[in-house]
Structure 1
Amino acid sequence: MNRAIQLDWNFVLDRWPLLAKGVVLDLYMAIVGTIAACLLGLLIQSARGSSWTLLSRTAYGFTQITRGIPFYVLLLWLYFGVASYFDLALSAVTCTIIALAITDSGKAAEIFRGGFLSIDAGQLEASDAIGLSHRHRYFDVLLPQVIRVVIPPLGNVFVGQIKGATFAAAIAVPEMVFQAQEMSVTFYRPFEAFAAVAIILITVVLAFSLVFLAAERALRLP
């Protein structure tokens, strides 16, 4: 005989502040992780374009390694392995941000590489012809155009980081999924708790997708 499931959505509403704090923490880790991944990706991309073969090959190897390591494995390795073995005072949040940055740095590097390759070579020749220094050519001519090209794929990276940040529940970071797990264990309401997480994630991802779409249109070349 099937027993009817009695859903209680007031259970979720009464504990909304806990989920809200978890969402804020997820967004914080995703934002910082994305910024760090982009900065690291730019460094890797620059290294790959170096005339020094060893540096270029090292950057290429690092890109392939980071693209192949699952985020969850890297997170556990950093928190339970590296931090403990080397006696480092790394918090669970810090380990999550580092793991997010490393995991997507290779992807960001490839995105930036594609952006730089999309620029017409004639612009580089014109920059040299008018005597621009390497620094001014990079920051005033190349990078502004690259940013316009890479906004859409970097938006996908950020969305992935939002979802990836929820894995931090495995190392007891009090983010959204962790809060839902606590509710589920304490009150035995797994359906309502995790349904709320799914709805929140879909809403957040949709909202940021619209933000990146608007940014793409605003930065679109005429």
Structure 2
Amino acid sequence: MDPQPPPAGNVEGDYPWWLVALAILAIGIAAVIVTNDLYAQVFQTVANGAAITIFVTLVAFVLATLFGLGIALLGLSDSIVLRQISRFYIEVIRGIPILVLLFYVAFVGAPAVVTAYNFITAPLVAAGWTEPLMVREVSLMWRAIIALTIGYASFIAEIFRAGIQAVDHGQIEAAKALGLSRYQRFRLVVFPQAIRVIFPPLSNDFVSMVKDSSLVSVLGVADITQMGKVYASGSFRFFETYSIVTYIYLILTIGLSLVLRQVEKRMRRTPGR
């Protein structure tokens, strides 16, 4: 019998030399920031947008996850109407670039919602009980969060659908035989098993949203990218500024990826209930 060739590509047993190289590079850049006044000033300015980036990412991802789960459950319902509504939403939204969706929500959706709100509250305005809402009063940051939520919910819905459908149907039938309600079957039988399939792609979407949150800078939201753009346009220090912007995003995304990878490994080691 011919000997089996060694597995190609990576494997979990490989020593993470790439991580060592990145750590050395990160320490080197940190040393430059500490010792060089220009880089220190750029870093301090750009880092002021980190809180906005983190806030936008966390809120949009939580909302997108909840919305995506709802869309996925509609797609798995017994009603053909609900299934078609779910599929319509997923196919349409997935076909729109996030940047275009961002502009549409910010400059078309928000004014439309404000117009509808003012129409509904017109009697209250006429009675002097309230004031009409102005489009400029709707925060650009929240317009961006809503756009990211709508866009990512379509992808997350497909992740949930695939994970739920991966659960053995026999176990669901057994849960029915035990008299568990639909909600109990989902909470006690389906979801605990589906989450093992769902978590890896869901965590990848989380990391992707950290990067896509930079798109909110086109609306003037003061995130990392916007702070870098403003500083670079005023100082003409483009190399230094965007090097620091890249550095901060790498710290966020790679750090988050490593944490999520450890969580995934722990989930794999934990025996199923």
**Does residue 117 of structure 2 align to residue 68 of structure 1?**
no
For the 8 Å contact 2:74–2:82, the answer to whether it is kept is yes
Among all aligned residue pairs of Structure 1 and Structure 2, give the percentage whose two residues are the same amino acid. Answer: 31
Deviation at 1:86, TM superposition (A): 4.0
The match for 1:4 is none
Q: TM (normalized to structure 2)?
A: 0.75
* Aligned positions, number: 216
- SS state of the match for residue 48, structure 2? helix
Cα deviation, residue 85, structure 1: 4.2
Secondary structure of 1:38's counterpart equals: helix
Of structures 1 and 2, the larger Rg is shown by: 2
Q: Matched residues in 2 for 1:15 and 1:199: separation?
A: 12
Deviation at 1:39, TM superposition (A): 0.7
Asked if 1 retains the 8 angstrom alpha-carbon contact of 2:42 and 2:244, the reply is no
1:96 matched to 2:151: no
TM-score (structure 1 length as normaliser): 0.91
Is 1:48 matched with 2:96? no
Provide the rounded CA distance (Å) in 2 between the counterparts of 1:118 and 1:96.
Answer: 33
Partner in structure 2 of residue 126 of structure 1 = 174
Q: Which amino acid aligns with 1:34?
A: F
2:97 alignment partner AA: P
Identify the range of structure 1 (85-94 vs 155-164) with the bigger mean alpha-carbon deviation. Answer: 85-94
1:154 aligns with 2:181: no
CA distance in 1, matches of 2:205, 2:180: 33
Gaps of 5+ in 2: 1-31, 115-134
- Give me the whole-angstrom Cα distance separating, in 1, the residues matched to 2:112 and 2:190: 43
State the partner residue of 1:179: 227
Task: Tell me the SS of whatever aligns to 2:49.
Answer: helix
Counterpart in the other structure of 1:36: 63
- Alpha-carbon distance, 1:110 to partner: 0.6
Instruction: Find the aligned partners of 2:50 and 2:261 in 1 and give their Cα distance.
Output: 22
CA contact (8 A) 2:48 2:227 kept: no
Q: By how many angstroms is 1:125 displaced? A: 1.4
In structure 2, how many angstroms separate the alpha carbons of the residues matched to 1:168 and 1:15? 20
Residue in 1 that maps onto 2:51: 24
* Pair 1:218-2:245 in alignment: no
Deviation string, structure 1 residues 63-84 (Cα, Å, up to 9, x no partner): 0111111111111111122223
Tell me the equivalent position of 2:157: 109
- Is the aligned partner of 1:170 residue 2:224? no
Distance 1:82 1:142 in 2: 36
Q: Would the aligned equivalents of 2:45 and 2:231 in 1 still touch at CA under 8 Å?
A: no
RMSD over aligned CA atoms reads 1.7
